[in-house]
Amino acid sequence: MRRRLIKKLCMVFGPRLPRIWLIVCLVSVFVLIVLSGSSSSSSFDSVTLTVKPDIYANYRRLKEQAVNDYLDLTSLSLGVSNLKELRICGKEREHYVPCYNVSANLLSGFKIGEEFDRHCEVSQGEPYCLVRPPKDYKTPLSWPVGRDVIWNENVKITKDQFLSSGSMTKRLMLMEENQISFHSDDGLMFDGVKDYSHQVAEMIGLGSDAEFYQAGVRTVLDVGCGFGSFGAHLLSLKLMPVCMAAYELTGSQVQISLERGIPAIIGNFNSRQLPFPSLSYDMVHCAECGILWDDKDGLLLIEADRILKPGGYFVLHGSSLSTKKGSMASPIEEFAQKICWTFIAQQEETFIWQKTIDAQCYSSSVQGAIPPCREEREDIQSYYQPLASCVGGTTSKRWIPIQNRSSGSQMIPAELEIYGKHCFFQQDEFYEDFESSLSALRNYWSLLTPLIFSDHPKRPGDEDPLPPYNMIRNVMDMNAHYGGLNAAFLEEGKSVWVMNVVPIRARNTLPVILHQGFAGVLHDWCEPFPTYPRTYDMLHANGLLSYLTSERCSITNLLLEMDRILRPEGWVVLSDEVGSIEKARTIATQIRWEARVIDLENGSDQRILVCQKPFVRK
């Protein structure tokens, strides 16, 4: 259709039609289509994009086609339509994670553990290509079946690694011919995790782990999480666990946890701060995580203290801990006193400390050794900054003990006011973000449901996964604002979790997101995201493209990174200004996504780009 339109215009005006006249002609055609549509039917609602009766279907398709024709011709005028398609990466990059090249880091002079840290500056200049899935990759099973059973070929783990696994969570795996199962038919395999969770609850004075939420424990950073079984159990208790483990070439804890639909991110307690603000988590948990907490003069424990909320818990489980009950002789226990932690319980190989709720404790001469950070230091965003030797968060307006929080997942107005003083936002902005996100989610879902939940023909070699075939479980909001999309998913009762990403140079609303009990992280979208390929089912971003343009970051690199972390047949929903959407649509075509531009029809210059990544690129 588009080529016939261009050919007809060229016959009228000549083969060398000036681009400006081409655009003017198309705009005129576009206006006539809109006017003719308006004369025969009532106008669409200015915001809502819900599915209309059949009488409007042809008009809507015609309008969308007109928008796409306009974008095609504008792309021609910009000279970007003939760019070459990007090549497919080799087999060696099937599980490629940028910024974690250990050999290159060593050559660059990083050592004493720093070679395992994130170093994007070392990876700069590497040629971009489209990361391919493994040969026998299969679409993940729907939640909650996919939590307990994953396909072997989707992750990188060898049989030897499986057989040598010795941690509590790894022993719960059962490797079959083409699947990895995390439970047995009689349901007994999870008893160890359940018993352990119940034990931790009793150690902090609760009757059972079902009382975690009411006791203020809602967000848990599970360091060195094995393959996510403890996190899976916490999800069943309506908590938000985030698995965090170092980058691994094979047998990745993060990759397998995400494949199971459990929140996870690559991260390392080593030489830099984690990309979370101070006072982020209610509990930091480490079971056989392999971290020497008393190493580096206690800097790792200081970092754990920084991200713990007042009254939060530090849970340590491991056979290497040989300290007897009641003894304060170990280096960890001695240092814990210097950062105002109270040793509250030990049972067998499990030890628990609690962070103080008194911010003045860190200034006490009795405690002495570790000073609080200066106020200006706390204003620095903790995006991979060097580890600090001072205690952070003590002067924050967000110093709220976890036991004093209001019930429910969302903040009451008084807490909003406290957060507003620190994060520079107004209550009406918070509620507006939630309401607009809820409206947008309903609109997206009405558009995507016929596409996502349609019955696709079963591909050769597929087993019989439960419908829907195109499962959406892992969602990333790449410009999360106040977490409105996450709250809207909960409001709609969708079985998804959202990784809420706040760009580092944008307004830091991440404390608000984390306080609601959501998962979230700071990130610089000029760099790759710390995750493995094919780990998210849906990527959403509102206003991110125009923001990156103002930051002089490459939209091409962004979409290539999105392609890397998006699973085959996953979805992308971008909302932005028409110029940014136009660029993104052109790039989406290059990387062989199916793309559709949707006009909001409210007179604004905002457009929505909906894309789907193909299962196989031809």
Tens of pLDDT, residue by residue over 445-455, are 666 555 554 44
pLDDT at 427 over 70: no
The confidence band for 518, taking pLDDT boundaries of 50, 70 and 90, is very high
pLDDT score of 23 more than 60: no
The string of pLDDT tens digits covering residues 524-545 is 999 999 999 999 999 999 999 9
Would you tell me how many other CB atoms lie within 10 Å of the CB of residue 177? 5
Integer Cα distance of 151 and 256 in angstroms: 10
Question: What is the C-alpha to C-alpha distance for residues 274 and 7, in angstroms, rounded to an integer?
Answer: 56
Helix (H) or strand (E) holding 576, with range, is: strand 566-577
- Stretch among 109-123, 195-209, 268-282, 433-447 having the lowest mean pLDDT: 433-447
Condensed to tens digits (0 to 9), the pLDDT of residues 111-122 reads 777 888 898 988
Show Cβ contacts of residue 14 under 8 Å, excluding neighbours closer than 6 positions.
none
pLDDT digits (tens, 9 = 90+) for 134-183: 999 999 988 888 999 999 899 988 666 665 554 444 445 666 678 888 86
CB 352 within 8 A of CB 308: no
What is the model's pLDDT at position 16? 46
Name the strands in the sheet holding 174-175, side by side, starting at the edge strand that comes first in the sequence.
149-151, 179-181, 174-175
Confidence class for position 72, pLDDT limits 50, 70, 90: very low
What DSSP line would sit under 308-356, residue for residue? EEEEEEEEEE-TT--PPTT---SHHHHHHHHTTEEEEEEETTEEEEEE-
Instruction: Examine the pLDDT at 83 and tell me if it is beyond 80.
Output: no
What is the per-residue pLDDT for 510? 92
Backbone angles phi, psi at 85, to 5 degrees: -70, 145
pLDDT at residue number 202: 97
Spatial CA neighbour of 387 closest among 482, 473, 491, 268: 268
Radius of gyration in angstroms for the set of CA atoms belonging to the chain, rounded to a whole number? 26
pLDDT > 70? residue 61: no
Q: What is the pLDDT of residue 320?
A: 62
198 touches 210 (CB < 8 A): no
Where do the H-state alpha helices sit in 86-171?
102-107, 120-123, 145-148, 159-164
Q: Could you report the per-residue pLDDT of 188-221, keeping only the tens digit for each? A: 344 589 999 999 999 999 999 999 999 999 999 9
- So what's the pLDDT on residue 144? 87
Strand pairing class (341-347; 264-266): unpaired
Residue 6: how many other CB atoms lie within 10 Å: 17
Mean pLDDT of 384-410: 82
Looking at residue 190, its pLDDT comes to: 45
When pLDDT is averaged across residues 215-233 and rounded to a whole number, the result is: 93
Conformation bin of residue 329: beta by default, left when phi > 0, alpha when psi is -120 to 50 = alpha
CA angle 283, 289, 290 (to 5 degrees): 135
User: pLDDT tens across 313-359, in order?
Assistant: 999 998 666 544 444 437 888 899 899 999 999 998 899 999 999 98
Whole-model pTM: value is 0.81
Supply the mean pLDDT for the chain: 77
